Each structure stands twice: as structure tokens, then as C-alpha cells.
């Protein structure tokens, strides 16, 4: 059974365009960008100039195409078949920044300040600053503060592991604005800004074409209209389950599951092609039982994960009450499957898989991050267990 996205001619055509563009343009130099840990702003900008991908979820009034966040996630899946690192930077911009900023104001039923609207129309490289050195999964332990002052707020603190931080021009920043544990607010901070320092790109195991780094705020003044949504409303906005859409963290988890599906498909394709052409003992290795197990189980996991992904995405768009539970579960399943499938692809290719001559070793390194970012898989297991036992107790 096809999902609504696969049966929609416009959605299908757009995704196929993204896939074709990724294999013809994004594939050029993908291994070199990884080896050099280099973000390529020219290639990144071509996502918009060639395909119009920036802002596709936003309404026409903000210069977007109004196609919704679902299509953005499908584009991320297709892009991740070739260069998950560049897809990660795109995810940070479109899902974590643009979509969240737009939905923050839409969910409040308030008019978006002109400066926020102008930033969305301008399409700078952006990111979301939530994680801190001592506050990852436990977001309520964050220490970055925003103290009210005449005309605005003064920010102090450090954010770590922020996608696009070394190259970003605008960030959504979570900061503590009161004494209460949930007194956290969201701010739009644009770079350059006095008191804001962007750190160098962190050396990483994978996703190396997507720069990750620190943001340091030292008496960083932002005006009153930098506040996104209500004062102290950051956590409620971040965790809110609205009838029309599951917001923020759950959407990020679905997007990371989509990245996992893209990686899994790429590894399956490479594994199948290699097993069909590589011969041992006079016949293709695809005829050996051990290899058939890798291919068969890999396909089943990818296919199941993709069905789960699309079903969960549809539930989120329809506002179904199980969406939060399924968003955690689909990330848990798909990220695990991507790691397993990419590891099996390395095994099928043998020494070729372990070398840099084939993409599977790079894709495997990229896949590992997805079980850490956006809520670790251990945290998701805890969430799922808590939700299931709570429902049984009712």
C-alpha cells in the first residue's frame, strides 16, 4: 500500500528530482568532503538554486512552497542516500530552525515579528542551539541564561555539538529565563552579534561534511523582538502535542529516521551490486547463503523501517495521539537498522568495504551518529517503556 506521499504525483516528482540531483551533483566530491571534513557552501546553496529546496515547508507569504514538513523529510531521505552529512546540515536548517521558528509563532496564534519573517525569507545557513556540555538528553538542566534588561535580554552560556555552528548566520537558542525548572525561552540570534562566538568545527567520526561546533555567549545582547513565542514558553512549545502536528523534537526524530532509511537503501544498493558481480569459487557471491542472509535481512529491515517511517509521518500530520510514541519508536528502529545494514554491507564487500574505495564505510560512520543525536536510543527506550506501562496502568 502506497503512502500519501508516494501516491501524490507532485511529491513523487520532487523526491525523484532530489534523488537524481543528489546522485549527479551531490555525489561529486562527497568522499573528498568527508576526508577533508569540509562543508561546501556552493553545493549547499545549489540545493536551493537548482531545486528550490530551502523553505519548501513554509507558506508562500514567507517565500516558501507551502508543501509541508513531510515533503522536507522525504527530500532528506533521498539526499541521505548520497551524502548524509550535507543532508544533516539541510535538516538543521529546514527542520530545526525554519520549521520550528514558523511553527512556534503559528502554535501561539501570534503574528510573527518582521525580523523573524525577514530571516526566513533570506535563507541564511542556520541551526538550533539546545545541547550544552552538561545538558544533552536532560534539556531542563541547561545553564545558558537570558536575563531581561532595558530593550532586550543578555545571554550567557555555552552550547555544544550544534550543527552548522561554525558556518551559521542565524540560530534558535534555548536559554533559561527564570528560576523555575521549566522557565526556558527561545530566541532568534543572528551572527555576527557582539558577545557571540562561533567555535571551530569539531573533528568527528562521521557526518564530516556537516560542521558541528560550539556557540559561546558572553554578555550577548539581543533585542526584545529576538524572543520567539512566549517568555518561559520554550519547553511547552518544544514538547507540545497539538492536534494538527507533532512539534519539534518528534519531528526531528522522524527526520533522523528518514536519514537512516536513506543510508540503509544506499548500502543495500551497493551490497546487491557487489554481490552480483563479485565472484568466488566460480560463481557470484550472491549465491552463497551467508551473503543471501545479509541481503534478505537487510532488505526486510529497510522496507519495514520505511513503511514505519511513512506511517508515522502520516500520523503526525493527522495529529493522531500515538504520534509521540511512534516517533520515538521509528527513530529507534530505523537508526538501529541503518547501523546493522551498513555494517553488513562492509562485511559483504570485505576488504573493499573496509577501505575508502566504496561509500559503505563512510555511510556506516554517518549512521552511528543517528542513534545519538535527537535523543539517544537509550533515552527513546526509556520513553517508550514509560509510555507503554503508563497506558497499561490506565
How confident is the prediction along the chain (394 residues), in pLDDT tens digits per residue?
Answer: 457 777 688 888 999 999 999 999 999 999 999 999 999 999 999 999 999 999 999 999 999 999 999 999 999 999 999 999 999 999 999 999 999 999 889 877 788 999 999 999 999 999 999 999 988 877 788 999 999 999 999 999 999 999 999 999 999 999 999 988 888 999 999 999 999 999 999 999 999 999 999 999 999 999 999 999 888 665 544 444 333 334 567 899 999 999 999 999 999 999 999 999 999 999 999 999 999 999 999 999 999 999 999 999 998 888 775 778 999 999 999 999 999 999 999 999 999 999 999 999 999 999 999 999 999 999 999 999 998 998 777 6
Q: Is the pTM of this model over 0.75?
A: yes
Supply the pLDDT for residue 321: 58
**Residue among 50, 43, 109 nearest 82 (CA):** 43
**Residue among 149, 201, 138 nearest 174 (CA):** 138
Whether the Cβ atoms of residue 33 and residue 93 lie closer than 8 Å to each other: no
Q: How far is CA 107 from CA 11, 116, 237, 243, in A?
A: 25, 15, 8, 10
Buried b (16+ CB within 10 A) or exposed e, 129-140: bbbbeebbeebe
Evaluate the CA torsion angle 126, 131, 136, 141 in order and state its sign.
negative
Question: What gap in Å lies between CA 382 and CA 385, rounded to an integer?
Answer: 5
Q: Distance between alpha carbon 199 and the CA centroid of its chain, in Å? A: 21
| Contacts of 26 by beta carbon, 8 Å cutoff, 6+ apart | 43, 79, 82, 83, 86
Buried b (16+ CB within 10 A) or exposed e, 202-222: bebebbbbbbbbbbbbeebbb
**Residue among 192, 193, 199 nearest 222 (CA):** 193
Supply the pLDDT for residue 243: 33
Supply the pLDDT for residue 394: 64
Give the SS3 label for residue 213: strand
Whether the Cβ atoms of residue 334 and residue 257 lie closer than 8 Å to each other: yes
Supply the pLDDT for residue 242: 33
CB atoms within 10 A of CB 362: 25
Tell whether omega for the bond before 192 is within 30 degrees of 0, i.e. cis.
yes
Supply the pLDDT for residue 234: 53
Q: Distance between alpha carbon 7 and the CA centroid of its chain, in Å? A: 24
Whether the Cβ atoms of residue 174 and residue 234 lie closer than 8 Å to each other: yes
Supply the pLDDT for residue 239: 45
Amino acid at each position: 500500500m502506497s503512502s500519501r506521499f508516494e501516491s501524490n504525483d507532485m511529491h513523487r516528482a520532487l523526491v525523484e528530482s532530489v534523488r537524481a540531483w543528489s546522485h549527479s551533483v551531490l555525489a561529486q566530491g562527497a568522499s573528498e568532503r568527508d576526508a577533508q571534513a569540509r562543508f561546501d557552501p556552493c553545493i549547499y546553496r545549489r540545493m536551493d538554486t537548482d531545486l528550490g529546496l530551502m523553505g519548501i515547508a513554509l507558506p508562500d507569504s514567507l517565500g516558501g512552497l507551502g508543501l509541508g514538513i513531510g515533503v522536507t523529510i522525504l527530500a532528506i531521505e533521498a539526499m541521505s542516500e548520497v551524502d548524509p552529512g550535507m543532508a544533516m546540515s539541510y535538516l538543521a536548517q529546514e527542520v530545526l530552525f525554519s520549521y520550528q521558528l514558523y511553527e512556534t509563532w503559528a502554535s501561539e496564534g501570534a503574528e510573527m515579528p518582521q525580523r523573524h519573517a525577514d530571516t526566513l525569507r533570506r535563507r541564511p545557513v542556520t541551526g538550533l542551539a539546545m545541547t550544552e556540555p552538561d545538558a544533552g538528553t536532560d534539556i531542563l538542566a541547561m545553564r545558558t541564561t537570558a536575563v531581561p534588561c532595558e530593550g532586550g535580554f543578555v545571554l550567557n552560556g555555552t552550547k555544544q555539538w550544534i550543527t552548522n555552528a561554525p558556518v551559521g548566520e542565524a540560530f534558535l537558542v534555548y536559554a533559561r529565563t527564570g528560576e523555575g525548572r521549566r522557565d526556558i525561552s527561545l530566541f532568534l540570534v543572528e551572527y555576527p552579534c557582539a558577545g557571540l562566538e562561533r567555535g571551530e568545527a569539531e573533528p568527528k567520526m562521521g557526518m564530516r561534511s556537516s560542521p558541528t561546533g560550539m556557540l559561546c555567549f558572553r554578555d550577548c545582547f539581543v533585542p526584545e523582538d529576538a524572543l520567539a513565542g512566549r517568555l518561559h514558553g520554550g519547553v511547552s512549545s518544544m514538547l507540545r502535542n497539538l492536534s494538527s502536528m507533532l512539534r519539534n523534537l518528534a519531528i526531528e526524530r522522524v527526520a533522523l529516521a528518514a536519514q537512516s532509511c536513506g543510508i540503509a537503501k544506499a548500502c543495500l544498493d551497493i551490497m546487491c551490486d557487489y554481490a552480483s558481480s563479485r565472484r568466488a569459487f566460480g560463481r557470484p557471491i550472491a549465491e552463497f547463503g551467508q551473503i543471501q542472509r545479509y541481503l534478505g535481512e537487510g532488505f526486510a529491515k529497510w522496507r519495514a523501517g520505511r513503511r514505519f517511517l511513512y506511517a508515522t509521518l502520516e500520523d503526525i500530520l493527522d495529529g493522531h495521539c500515538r504520534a509521540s510514541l511512534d516517533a520515538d519508536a521509528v527513530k529507534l528502529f530505523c537508526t538501529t537498522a541503518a547501523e546493522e545494514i551498513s555494517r553488513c554491507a562492509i562485511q559483504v564487500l570485505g576488504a573493499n568495504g573496509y577501505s575508502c574505495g566504496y561509500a559503505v564505510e563512510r555511510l556506516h560512520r554517518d549512521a552511528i551518529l543517528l542513534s545519538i543525536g535527537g535523543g539517544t536510543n537509550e533515552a527513546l527506550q526509556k520513553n517508550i517503556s514509560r509510555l507503554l506501562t503508563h497506558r497499561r496502568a490506565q
